[in-house]
Structure 1
């Protein structure tokens, strides 16, 4: 009886460990890439891409990440990045966030 709630809690914690898309990207194609030693998960849907950086980076290692996020979106989608996604697909992150970004694609 006591083990059941513990197992359920452990399952919930482990389920949150992977990258999952924002609701706007549910049903998107998922791509996993490693660029310059950094892992990214890219969700591509309807001319837009959401890029999530995986793993931990020290502050001094983050300067190159925004350019790598653009590259990851382009490699995963086969399209050029036209700029940040707007409207409903706009990123809720603060400018300069190196953990998540959303882009409008030019295909």
Structure 2
């Protein structure tokens, strides 16, 4: 019994290690990219993109991430980023968050 519980906890922990979209991006196309050694998962739906940075970065290494997130959204979608997503699509994260960002796209 203990062994099953331990295996279940390990499995749940591993499932939590993957990027998953916000509810408004359910059903979105998923794209996994590596830019300048940093992994990103991009979810593209309608004219919006959600970019999730993967892995740990020390604070000093985070400066280029916002520009890389824009680049990741554009490469994954084939569209141009026009700015931060608004309305229902907007990100609940604080401005400057390097872990997650949502963008409006012009295709």
Q: Does TM, normalized by the shorter one, top 0.5?
A: yes
- SS for the counterpart of 2:33 is strand
Post-superposition shift, 1:56? 1.1
Distance in 1 of aligned mates of 2:57 and 2:50 = 19
Post-superposition shift, 1:2? 2.2
Aligned to 2:92: 92
Post-superposition shift, 1:66? 0.3
Aligned to 2:81: 81
Distance in 1 of aligned mates of 2:34 and 2:13 = 25
Q: Are 1:14 and 2:42 matched, yes or no?
A: no
For structure 1, the residue ranges without an aligned partner over 5 or more in a row are: none
Moved more, 91-100 or 1-10: 1-10
Distance in 1 of aligned mates of 2:102 and 2:89 = 7
- SS for the counterpart of 1:74 is helix
Aligned to 1:37: 37
Distance in 1 of aligned mates of 2:3 and 2:49 = 41
Superposition RMSD in Å: 0.8
Distance in 2 of aligned mates of 1:10 and 1:57 = 24
Distance in 1 of aligned mates of 2:90 and 2:14 = 28
- SS for the counterpart of 1:72 is helix
Distance in 2 of aligned mates of 1:40 and 1:4 = 33
Q: What do the CA deviations read for 1:46-99 (whole angstroms, capped 9, x no partner)?
A: 110000011111111111100000000000000000110111111011110000
Size of the aligned set, in residue pairs, is 107
Aligned to 1:104: 104
Distance in 2 of aligned mates of 1:19 and 1:79 = 22
